[in-house]
Amino acid sequence: MSNPSILILPGDGIGPEVMAQVTRIIDWYGNKRELAFDVSTDLVGGAAYDAHGVPLHDDTMARAMEVDAVLLGAVGGPKYDDLDFSVKPERGLLRLRKEMDLFSNLRPAQCFDALADFSSLKKDIVAGLDIMIVRELTSGVYFGEPRGIFNEGNERVGINTQRYTESEIERVARSAFDLAMARGKKLCSMEKANVMESGVLWREVVTRVHADYPEVELSHMYADNGAMQLVRAPKQFDVIVTDNLFGDILSDVAAMLTGSLGMLPSASLGAPMDNGRPRAMYEPVHGSAPDITGQSKANPIACILSFAMALRYSFDQGAEADRLEAAIETVLADGLRTADLLGDDGATPVSTSGMGDAILAALDASL
């Protein structure tokens, strides 16, 4: 039986630096846990544009469709700001999401006890926080037509269209309900049904799907109120499901509750492949951070936690995902910090690779 396959796309900026630590973790699982993966590497974003003139080569897209999971680092940087919109690095990421049909984006916001003081909110509000935002990823205002900048009379007008079909809403709703069943059986759906027809349809479809999940407590909330509630009392939520635009905004709000973007992973899941596994891509929430590229300051934890999500959702290795997450928690509890997490509490500063060393040591200690 062949090993599960992973395509690594380090991308731009700090992407290669943090992904190098993930590769070390993958190798550890092969050597210490007899959990081997067939790993290949390719280009995306600005790196792909430099090599091929496009942010994602067709051959890379084809490989992404064949593997069990894609791990992506980050894309973009000021070097590419003046490129035509059609070939900007971010278009490579959007193409992967769209052509792989990764409609369900899982964005956890978990506050490790050792980092509760780093949150912008009071410690008692965020300590123990563990919520999951499920963002619809392949439709809505980011993909709806018509879109563009057009001449209208004597001025230009920018148009983006918010568009959802019932089936698009239903499949992400089922993904969220399934996740809620595996967690606290509590789901909050967020939209703007008070002013948007797409929100009215969203609420109707989610309510209809709820009939198949009677054990889940379902609530509805307007997305603007949801943003306010996330910073007022975030622990009232367990799983949140929302559309593409609101999910983009709300998940970034939730991200800062945890103290650092360098701590947050994500998973983007699609329909099951022939082997029964969902088509999937995993990536840290943070960007390419060109201001610290090449300085060994980047925090690799979000990228490593993205691999933990791959263990859980693509490879049915929940216990090993728990092991990796516990190792990270141990390292943080021991006071080791990359630059983004340094405060005045006497923590020990470590480099990107130093954090990788510590996590590997904690993994060894878990055996």
Catalytic residue of the set 68, 238, 243, 248: 248
Q: Is 81 tagged catalytic? A: no
- The reported pTM is 0.91
- Look at residues 190, 224, 257 and tell me which one is the last residue of a structural domain: 257
Catalytic residue of the set 27, 178, 252, 357: 252
Same domain assignment for residues 158 and 69: no
Same domain assignment for residues 252 and 279: no
Structural domain containing residue 39 = 1-103+265-367
Question: Rounded mean pLDDT of 88-106?
Answer: 95
Q: Is 192 tagged catalytic? A: yes
Q: What is the pLDDT of residues 196-250, one digit of tens each?
A: 999 999 999 999 999 999 999 999 999 999 999 999 999 999 999 999 999 999 9
Q: Is 50 tagged catalytic? A: no
Catalytic residue of the set 130, 178, 224, 334: 224
In this prediction, residue 262 has a pLDDT band, given cuts at 50, 70 and 90, of: confident
Across the chain, mean pLDDT equals 94
Q: Is 345 tagged catalytic? A: no
- pLDDT recorded at residue 197: 98
Catalytic residue of the set 192, 243, 313, 340: 192
- Look at residues 236, 257, 278 and tell me which one is the last residue of a structural domain: 257
Q: What is the pLDDT of residues 302-342, one digit of tens each?
A: 999 999 999 999 999 999 999 999 999 999 999 999 998 88
Question: Rounded mean pLDDT of 337-362?
Answer: 92
Same domain assignment for residues 139 and 239: yes
Centre a 10 Å sphere on the Cβ of residue 320 and count the other Cβ atoms it contains: 17
Catalytic residue of the set 29, 142, 282, 313: 142
Question: Given a cut of 80, is residue 288 above it in pLDDT?
Answer: yes
Question: Given a cut of 90, is residue 118 above it in pLDDT?
Answer: no
Specify which of 46-50, 91-95, 269-273 reaches the highest per-range mean pLDDT: 46-50
In this prediction, residue 67 has a pLDDT band, given cuts at 50, 70 and 90, of: very high
E-state strands within 162-264: 186-191, 217-222, 239-242
- Give the total number of structural domains in the chain: 2
CA distances from 169 to 199, 203, 225, 249 (A): 10, 9, 21, 18
Q: Is 224 tagged catalytic? A: yes
Q: Which two tokens stand for residue 94?
A: 């959007």
